[in-house]
Amino acid sequence: MRMTIITSNPGKVREYQHYFEGLGIETAHLNVPYDEIQSSDLEEVVRKGMDELKSKGISDFIIDDSGLFIDRLEGFPGVWSAYVQKTIGNEGILKLMGGVEERSAVFKCCIGCNMNGKDIIVTGTCNGVILEEERGTEGFGYDPIFSHDGQRSFAEVRTDEKNDFSHRGNAVRLLLAEMEKIL
Ligand code: IMP
């Protein structure tokens, strides 16, 4: 079986390769752009993206839409996480959180998988906190400012360890349970 990971993000490709290759599922990477509609709902973005890719004749693929939701900022950057990362970045988030004591946040990852003509959509989450400063050099995006245990940032853990508790890891475990029902 071969699953095509459709994303422009090499960090995501590395994480998916870790999961699937360990399970004997061959992976390929494709960077095809698809429209990411403006929506307050990750699942709606994924569903629309899947429809567009299928209408282009692509099958047996995975896409995901993720976001960091900070409680004290009423869920910001949430569905705007990609834009916010590109503009104000981690430094900007740390400024917004300057002097704030309540630092809880949740990472969410919604995966859309098309396999054997069927669609599966699952969402995994990971609760944590926004750190006071950037830490670590692994990973990508918000990893240096997010910690699942209040101590190490996601950028201070190896990819295989991050997969054990991350939003994407939790989403993949839900996905595999659904895939087993189809295979
Ligand atoms: P998207 O799912 O590619 O739209 O991701 C939204 C934003 O969240 C991007 O800026 C990503 O870099 C960031 N992001 C997604 N997943 C992760 C992660 O596992 N760690 C850190 N940042 C992430």
What is residue 106's predicted lDDT score, i.e. its pLDDT? 98
Query: Could you read off the pLDDT of 37-71 as tens digits, one per residue?
Result: 777 789 999 999 999 999 999 999 999 999 999 99
Annotated catalytic residue within 51, 60, 65, 164: 65
Query: Could you read off the pLDDT of 162-175 as tens digits, one per residue?
Result: 989 999 999 999 99
The protein residue with its alpha carbon nearest to ligand 1, atom 7, reads: 82
Is the pLDDT at 156 greater than 90, yes or no?
yes
H helices of the chain, in order, are 10-22, 42-55, 81-87, 89-96, 159-165, 167-182
Question: What is the DSSP secondary-structure string of 99-121?
Answer: T-S--EEEEEEEEEEEETTEEEE
Q: Is 65 a catalytic residue?
A: yes
| Ligand 1 lined by 82 (C-beta under 6 Å) | yes
Positive or negative, the Cα torsion across 72, 73, 74, 76?
negative
36 vs 5, higher pLDDT? 5
Is the pLDDT at 182 greater than 90, yes or no?
no
**Ligand 1 mean position, distance from CA 57 (Å):** 27
Positive or negative, the Cα torsion across 19, 136, 93, 99?
positive
**Ligand 1 mean position, distance from CA 29 (Å):** 17
Query: Could you read off the pLDDT of 71-122 as tens digits, one per residue?
Result: 999 999 999 999 999 999 999 999 999 999 999 999 999 999 999 899 999 9
**Ligand 1 mean position, distance from CA 168 (Å):** 10
Q: What share of residues in the chain are helix, strand, coil (percent, to 5)?
A: 40, 25, 30
pTM of the model: 0.92
Residue 137 burial (10 A CB sphere; 0-12, 13-18, 19+): exposed
Mean pLDDT of all residues in 148-155: 96
| Ligand 1 lined by 65 (C-beta under 6 Å) | yes
What is residue 146's predicted lDDT score, i.e. its pLDDT? 98
- CB neighbours of 164 closer than 8 A, spacing ≥ 6? none
